[in-house]
Structures are given as structure tokens and as C-alpha cells.
Amino acid sequence: MKPADISLTACSYTHVLEIISNKWTALVIYSLEEGTIRYGEIKKRIEGISQKMLTQTLRQLERDGLVTRKVTPSVPPIVDYTLTPLGKTLIPCMKMLKEWAAEHYPSVQQARVSYELSEENGEVRQLES
């Protein structure tokens, strides 16, 4: 009835997801929840993240005003990262997502298994002849 009332560029969902849906972003924010932390510490805490990806992710968060970067020019250098007040407003959202997953992700996994099974058994998907 109402035609084209949902727009990708205008929709709020797109905006949030654009910020937090990068591969490592949520994990980096999570590692910052407890307060200020050094670059190297983040890297140690997050399993499998490369230096490049961590730097890239942090740069993006800094650009978006979600974290602050503080350089102490010693040698070797010390760089501390902290969530800004704006960044902290994300925490309740993230908590909610986390809780949803804890509660419902098993159901999703189960659904996927049964879906694959019914596919193998040649269930009707096609609009048949």
C-alpha cells in the first residue's frame, strides 16, 4: 500500500550498523568497557586480531568520536585508548545484543541445521511445474 517508505540511506538501522558491524569493532569496544587501556593490551586481549586491523578499527572509532587516543611520546611509545561519553552510550545497546545472542542464538543454530536437512531431502522450494 504505502510504497517505498523504507530507505537504506535514511534508515537509522543502517547508521548504527555502519558504525558497529565491522568485523572487530564490537570486540574492541568491549575491550574498552572497563576503562583506559593501551594498544598492546587490546591486541593481547583480542584473539587473532592483527596490528593493521586493530589500528584501522581504532582509527575509525576515533573518527566517529567514540574513543579518544592519547599519545605519550616516549620510546617505545605509549598510546592509550579510552571510550568517550558518546562511546559509553553504546554499551547498553551492546549488552542487549549480547543478551539476545545468549538467549536465542542456539535456536538460530538449530534452525540452520534443520534447514540444511530439509534441503538435502529435496524439499519443495521451487514454484513447481
**Partner whose footprint covers residue 19, from its own copies, DNA, none (CB < 5 to 8 Å by kind):** its own copies
In the complex with DNA, the residue whose CB is nearer, 43 or 88, is 43
Contacting residues toward DNA, per CB under 7 A? 22-24, 38-40, 43, 50-53, 55, 58-59, 69, 75-79, 125-127, 129
In the complex with DNA, the residue whose CB is nearer, 21 or 110, is 21
Measured CA to CA, the distance from residue 16 to residue 20 in angstroms comes to: 6
**Partner whose footprint covers residue 50, from its own copies, DNA, none (CB < 5 to 8 Å by kind):** DNA
CB-based contact 79:70 (threshold 8 Å) = yes
C-alpha closest to that of 32 among 70, 74, 77, 73: 70
- Residue 50 DSSP symbol: -
